Amino acid sequence: MRIVDARVIVCSPGRNFVTLKLVTEDGLYGLGDATLNGRELAVVSYLQDHVVPLLIGRDARRIEDTWQYLYKGAYWRGGPVGMTAIASVDMALWDILGKAANVPVYRLLGGASREAVMVYGHANGKDVEETVAATAHYLELGYKAVRAQCGIPGLASTYGVGRGGMFYEPAEPGLPPENVWSTEKYLSFVPSLFARLREEFGPEPHLLHDVHHRLTPIEAARLGKALEPCHLFWMEDPVPAEVQDGFRLIRHHTTTPIAVGEVFSSIFDCRHLIQEQLIDYIRSTVVHAGGLTHLRKIAHLAEMYRVRTGCHGATDLSPVCMAAALHFDLSVHNFGIQEYMRHTDETDQVFPHAYSFEDGYMHPGDAPGLGVDIDEALAAQYPYARAYLPVNRREDGTAHDW
């Protein structure tokens, strides 16, 4: 089953996506997401200029060997650009294998470990009242878990707040906008937001919060401690992911569960955090952590330490990644939760898919392969449009983590 064609498709149906399409001599094709938000074209070049020539003529069934060939053969290993490119090849190969065997990918991964996958949605508001209303809306839709983000009194712009509704999109067209940040204003406010949400909705719904890499370890420890009475499902990215020893300090001070990993590229980024049990949830996902082949290795390591998965699932991860993540989530034993930020209707039309949402849970569907397609003619009507994530500065103008 030789690969005879490999194409990179760039489109922007509401936001930018990069998709790899591999075609075999038997006429089967597979899709892989290769979107790296704000650096999309770097992955396009990596694939087109350096990976595609290596794929033509390879046996599409040799998934592990192709992974190792691309990873080890590059010499310059790891990193978000290279690992996203490898992930897209890997996803496309699993898609082809599923289609060839006429089974959904989760069956190739060991079958379903659960009936469906619990997901969390994003409740965003510019103030507490709006965040309460957004949380209520998600709960009415059947969600069992909601991430709450809120504008901070005294700050004009805050991560996770802005376009509201069901389709929050963090990237902005053109050059990056700049946000202003105050740790003190944030820390004095957030515990009162969650106290109000618990008062409003009681102990049952799972509540999550993304700190978005903005605190120092001791500040994060203070926040985790203050949030303990509100028993969050998790506090995400309390400090920049590379401040790995900082997680130990946070751990010494609080029982609030910790999630990290959406920016990790490989098992080597999270090995220490998992083995030292410094985190509770690993958030790496298919597209940015080397595909299903590599993410499964991360999950298996995590399983030994009772660390559960919580895959990143923002809108910049295309429906191809979302489908792959759901096959992974359904099959892997130590699944925890899946993030689900809905795509716009334009995106869903370009990427028709078999996955579905019902009452707070998702299922990848039983279509052969990943169960997601691309309408290339429609995709061509949405050309790439430069967009960046915002940049963050403290009130005195110092560049800060976003």
Residues lying near ligand KDG in the complex (CB under 6 A) are found at 37, 170, 210, 212, 262, 312, 314, 316, 339, 389
Helix (H) or strand (E) holding 335: none
Which of ligand KDG, Mg ion, none lies near 316, with the C-beta cut-off 5 to 8 A by kind? Answer: ligand KDG
Min. distance of Cβ 212 from Mg ion in angstroms? 6
Task: Look up residue 87 and give its amino acid.
Answer: A
Q: Which is nearer to ligand KDG, 316 or 329 (CB)?
A: 316
Which of Mg ion, ligand KDG, none lies near 314, with the C-beta cut-off 5 to 8 A by kind? Answer: ligand KDG
Min. distance of Cβ 74 from ligand KDG in angstroms? 24
Contact 275, 244 (CB under 8 A): no
Q: Which is nearer to Mg ion, 148 or 379 (CB)?
A: 148
Q: Which is nearer to ligand KDG, 240 or 365 (CB)?
A: 240
- Give the active site residue among 159, 186, 355, 382: 159
The residue with its CB nearest to Mg ion is: 210
Contact call for residue 339 and Mg ion (CB under 5 A): no
CA distance 135 to 110: 35
How many Cα atoms are found within 13 Å in the side-chain-facing hemisphere of 124? 17
Which of Mg ion, ligand KDG, none lies near 280, with the C-beta cut-off 5 to 8 A by kind? Answer: none
Min. distance of Cβ 283 from ligand KDG in angstroms? 7
For the packed helices 63-73 and 80-101, what is the interaxial angle rounded to 10 degrees? 170
Site string for Mg ion, 42-81 (x = CB under 5 A): ----------------------------------------
Contact 95, 32 (CB under 8 A): yes
Min. distance of Cβ 103 from ligand KDG in angstroms? 30
Per the annotation, the verdict on 272 as an active-site residue is: no
CA distance 385 to 64: 34
Q: Which is nearer to ligand KDG, 104 or 160 (CB)?
A: 160
Min. distance of Cβ 4 from Mg ion in angstroms? 39
Spatial CA neighbour of 87 closest among 283, 364, 295: 295
Per the annotation, the verdict on 186 as an active-site residue is: no
Task: Look up residue 264 and give its amino acid.
Answer: F
DSSP for 347-386 reads HHHHS-BS-EEETTEEE--SSSBT-B---HHHHTTS----
- Give the active site residue among 212, 288, 312, 363: 212
Which of Mg ion, ligand KDG, none lies near 66, with the C-beta cut-off 5 to 8 A by kind? Answer: none
Site string for Mg ion, 187-226 (x = CB under 5 A): -----------------------x----------------
Min. distance of Cβ 7 from ligand KDG in angstroms? 24
Q: Residues near 25 by Cβ (< 8 Å), separated by ≥ 6?
A: 1, 2, 3, 4
Location of structure tokens 């039309």: 349
CA distance 96 to 66: 14
Which of ligand KDG, Mg ion, none lies near 37, with the C-beta cut-off 5 to 8 A by kind? Answer: ligand KDG
Q: Measured between alpha carbons, how far is residue 59 from residues 63, 158, 166, 170, 324 in Å?
A: 9, 48, 41, 39, 21
Spatial CA neighbour of 91 closest among 125, 67, 113, 114: 67
Q: Which is nearer to Mg ion, 210 or 219 (CB)?
A: 210
Q: Which is nearer to ligand KDG, 90 or 339 (CB)?
A: 339
- Note the residues at the interface with Mg ion (CB under 5 A): 210
Question: Which residues does the annotation mark as catalytic?
Answer: 159, 212
